[in-house]
């Protein structure tokens, strides 16, 4: 028949008590993840530090701040590569035309969004840049690559009503990130991250 | 005779005890009632399908995203995770075996999708989803988050009892006629956790947005529409309709904030869910995130009573609503004696005797056999 025998009432009660405790602990943990997104209190951040191993291990450590606090500029990585024969290759990450289907495009887009979210003073930024440069050198068969960060802000309603598209030049803000050649990023010490 | 202080204290303690007992009873029914596992099984198919698609797309750039010298640098991921644990079996897979590991994983996901292997496969699918998301965490977004959440809970519940190869094997090959019909406490726990986690997702998203000026002054929807990198359909013609854009902004933020509260009462639940479907279809159609939008819509199955998911016949329902709520937990008991259907439902949640159990597995609750 496949139906288990009814469990002893005492055993069932014990199971329910343990189950309830686990449920409460889990709900507290998953609530602390979004609550710890800045601005947050020291209390919440301390609580989050306690449960973060569990949240990281289960991949439930998310803030769920989609388009929050508000939709902003997109981060795009522009590159100009030089091949061994001296010819150049231009491109950008992400590229709607080259990266299909859309989900793959979005994967690359998240890479550049991550880069754009790192403050310039953060030492990890250089490592990310070198790593991204290495990828471009490897996958595009380049000798060197010049990187530029582009922040592409959404056009205002007025700009669109005046006939400017979403790709109007004034909506792009460029920053040169330097020229890179192949270099294996060194392992960073723990102190550098702080 | 005037009540003494002891009488008053005694009365208060009884009232508190009764309230606590009532709370415990509501908690017990909310979490530990046995329910039909159909919602979970439908979710398994939807989530499994989306997970498979997502992984097939990973496969188009497997070495780039998962290779030892790919985009997702271990040191960077480790820093992003604040030197915490980043479990992923991909850390141990040499580059030359990436493709083999990838197709083995896809095989497990296909088994999960078709409901083969019970919880073992579900747990393996969850471990795979987490491993991919952790290893390539610089390239992940809301889709991966919601898939990991859903599969985590699906691994708790019995997801292969219905609409599955497991059911087919047990019923057709092993001749276990009623296999998979039993209501399950684990199914209820899984469904409840999905429901509450969804509420948390929307509430956090809504409260996060309230910190931004654009969600207050009504510009946020335009800012999303006018983001070229997200845009998949041109909606810039809406620039001529500022009031409409403001209305859309306000509706979106209000909906996100109130979702956690209005999804529970039966009267508002369909409205709140329908609004969610519209919003996520919009995200898919206009911001190019069909996968994320669909995954969110799929998760709404947790709020749909199994009886609505059954298209064959009303008598198929073997257990109470999985989409029920705290209010249901109280109300059903109050009306159990006066409403036969509800009484059937109540008893079927907790099979205390073999008599009840037999009624449950028969698939057709018969009132005359219920002990009064």
pLDDT in tens, B186-228: 999 999 999 999 999 999 999 999 999 999 999 999 999 999 9
Sign of CA dihedral B172, B115, B44, A12: positive
The structure tokens listed for A3 are 């139906």
Across the interface, whether the CB atoms of A52 and B84 are under 8 A apart is answered yes
pLDDT of amino acid B322: 45
pLDDT of amino acid B6: 83
Distant-in-sequence, close-in-space partners of A130: CB < 8 Å, separation ≥ 6: A180, A183, A185
What is the Cα–Cα distance from A48 to A59, expressed in whole angstroms?
Answer: 14
Q: In this structure, are residues B205 and A68 in contact, taking their beta carbons and an 8 Å threshold? A: yes
| Total Cβ atoms within 10 A of residue B196 | 18
pTM beyond 0.95, yes or no = no
Measured between CB atoms, does B79 come within 8 Å of chain A?
Answer: yes
The pLDDT confidence band at residue B76, using thresholds 50, 70 and 90, is confident
| Helix/strand/coil (H/E/C) assignment for every residue in chain B | CCCCHHHHHHHHHHHHHHHHHHHHHHHHHHHHCCECCHHHHHHHHHHHHHHHHHHHHHHHHHHHHHCCCCCCCHHHHHHHCCCCCCCCHHHHCCHHHHHHHHHHHHHHHHHHHCCCCHHHHHHHHHHHHHHHHHHCHHHCCHHHHHHHHHHHHHCCCCCCCCCCHHHHHHHHHCCCCCCCCCCEHHHHHHHHHHHHHHHHHHHHHHHHHCCCHHHHHCCHHHHHHCCCCCCCCCCHHHHHCHHHHHHHHHHHHHHHHHHHHHCCCCCCHHHHHHHHHHHHHHHHHHHCCHHHHHHHHHHHHHHCCHHHHCCCCHHHCCCCCCCCCHHHHHHHHHHCCCCHHHHHHHHHHCCCCHHHHHHHHHCCCCHHHCCC
A81, β-bridge pairs: A89, A145
pLDDT of amino acid A88: 92
Q: Quote the radius of gyration of chain B (alpha carbons, Å).
A: 24
> Best interface-test mutation with A: which of B161, B174, B227, B245 has the largest number of A CBs within 10 A?
B227
Measured between CB atoms, does B290 come within 8 Å of chain A?
Answer: yes
Nearest to B126 by CA among B151, B102, B101: B151
pLDDT of amino acid A184: 65
Q: In this structure, are residues B220 and A67 in contact, taking their beta carbons and an 8 Å threshold? A: yes
Tell me which residue has tokens 């790593």: A131
Which positions of chain A have pLDDT values less than 50? 1-3, 188-194
pLDDT in tens, B94-138: 999 999 999 999 999 999 999 999 999 999 999 999 999 999 999
Tell me, what DSSP letter sits at residue A172?
A: E
Q: Helix crossing, B326-335 with B5-32: angle to 10°?
A: 110
Which string of DSSP letters, residue by residue, matches A89-154? EEEEES-TTTS-SHHHHHHHHHHHHHHHHS-TT-THHHHHHHHHHHHHHHHTT-SEEEEEEEEEPP
* Residue B9 clears pLDDT 60, i.e. is over it: yes
Nearest to A154 among B64, B148, B227 (CB): B227
ipTM: 0.89
pLDDT of amino acid A9: 86
What is the Cα–Cα distance from B194 to B196, expressed in whole angstroms?
Answer: 6
CB contacts < 8 Å between A and B, how many?
215
The angle formed by the CA atoms of residues B123, B128 and B134, to the nearest 5 degrees, is 125
Measured between CB atoms, does B169 come within 8 Å of chain A?
Answer: no
B226: chain A residues, CB-CB within 8 Å: 154-157, 160, 166
pLDDT: which is higher, B181 or B338: B181
Distant-in-sequence, close-in-space partners of B67: CB < 8 Å, separation ≥ 6: B95, B98
Nearest to B208 among A6, A37, A127 (CB): A37
> Best interface-test mutation with A: which of B90, B192, B226, B294 has the largest number of A CBs within 10 A?
B226
Question: H or E stretch including A77?
Answer: strand A74-82
The structure tokens listed for B359 are 């009624």
Nearest to A68 among B57, B200, B205 (CB): B205
Across the interface, whether the CB atoms of B361 and A161 are under 8 A apart is answered no
Measured between CB atoms, does A110 come within 8 Å of chain B?
Answer: yes
The pLDDT confidence band at residue B309, using thresholds 50, 70 and 90, is confident
The pLDDT confidence band at residue B78, using thresholds 50, 70 and 90, is confident
Across the interface, whether the CB atoms of B197 and A30 are under 8 A apart is answered yes
pLDDT: which is higher, A160 or B338: A160
């Amino acid at each position: 028949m496949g139906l288990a025998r009814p469990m002893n009432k005492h055993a069932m009660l014990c199971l329910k008590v343990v189950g309830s405790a686990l449920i409460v602990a889990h709900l507290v943990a998953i609530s602390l993840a979004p609550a710890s997104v800045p601005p947050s209190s020291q209390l919440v951040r301390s609580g989050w530090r306690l449960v973060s191993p569990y949240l990281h291990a289960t991949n439930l450590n998310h803030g769920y701040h989609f388009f929050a606090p508000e939709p902003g500029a997109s981060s795009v990585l522009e590159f100009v590569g030089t091949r061994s024969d001296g010819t150049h290759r231009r491109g950008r990450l992400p590229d709607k035309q080259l990266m299909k289907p859309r989900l793959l495009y979005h994967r690359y887009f998240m890479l550049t969004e991550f880069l754009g979210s790192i403050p310039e003073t953060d030492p990890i930024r250089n490592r990310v840049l070198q790593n991204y440069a290495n990828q471009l050198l490897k996958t595009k068969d380049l000798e060197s690559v010049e990187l530029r960060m582009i922040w592409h802000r959404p056009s205002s309603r007025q700009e669109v009503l005046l006939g400017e598209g979403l790709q109007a030049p004034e909506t792009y803000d460029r920053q040169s990130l330097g020229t890179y050649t192949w270099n294996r990023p060194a392992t960073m010490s723990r102190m550098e991250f702080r | 005779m005037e009540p003494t202080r002891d009488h008053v204290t005694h009365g208060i303690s009884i009232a508190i005890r009764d309230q606590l007992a009532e709370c415990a009873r509501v908690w017990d029914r909310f979490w530990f009632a046995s329910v039909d596992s159909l919602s979970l099984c439908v979710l398994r198919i939807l989530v499994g399908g989306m997970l498979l698609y997502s992984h097939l797309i990973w496969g188009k750039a497997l070495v780039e995203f998962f290779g030892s010298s790919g985009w997702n640098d271990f040191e960077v991921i480790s820093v992003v995770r604040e030197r915490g644990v980043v479990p992923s079996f991909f850390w141990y897979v040499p580059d030359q075996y990436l493709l083999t590991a990838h197709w083995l994983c896809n095989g497990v996901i296909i088994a999960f999708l078709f409901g083969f292997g019970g919880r073992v496969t579900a747990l393996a699918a969850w471990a795979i989803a987490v491993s991919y998301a952790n290893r390539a965490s610089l390239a992940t977004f809301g889709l991966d988050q919601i898939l990991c959440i859903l599969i985590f809970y699906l691994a708790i519940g019995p997801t292969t009892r219905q609409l599955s190869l497991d059911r087919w094997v047990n019923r057709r090959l092993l001749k276990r006629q009623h296999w998979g019909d039993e209501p399950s406490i684990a199914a209820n726990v899984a469904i409840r956790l999905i429901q509450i986690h969804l509420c948390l997702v929307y509430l956090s998203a809504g409260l996060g947005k309230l910190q931004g000026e654009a969600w207050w002054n009504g510009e946020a929807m335009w800012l999303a529409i006018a983001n070229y990198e997200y845009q998949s359909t041109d909606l810039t013609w809406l620039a001529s309709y500022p009031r409409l854009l403001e209305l859309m902004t306000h509706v979106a933020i209000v909906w996100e904030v109130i979702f956690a509260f209005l999804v529970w009462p039966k009267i508002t639940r369909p409205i709140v869910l329908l609004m969610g479907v519209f919003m996520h279809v919009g995200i898919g159609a206009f911001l190019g995130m069909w996968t994320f939008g669909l995954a969110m819509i799929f998760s709404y199955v947790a709020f749909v009573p199994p009886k609505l998911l059954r298209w064959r016949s009303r008598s198929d329902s073997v257990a109470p609503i999985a989409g029920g709520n705290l209010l249901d937990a109280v109300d059903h008991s109050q009306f159990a004696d006066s409403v036969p259907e509800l009484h059937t439902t109540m008893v079927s949640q907790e099979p205390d005797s073999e008599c009840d159990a037999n009624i449950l597995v028969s698939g057709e609750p018969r009132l005359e056999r219920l002990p009064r």
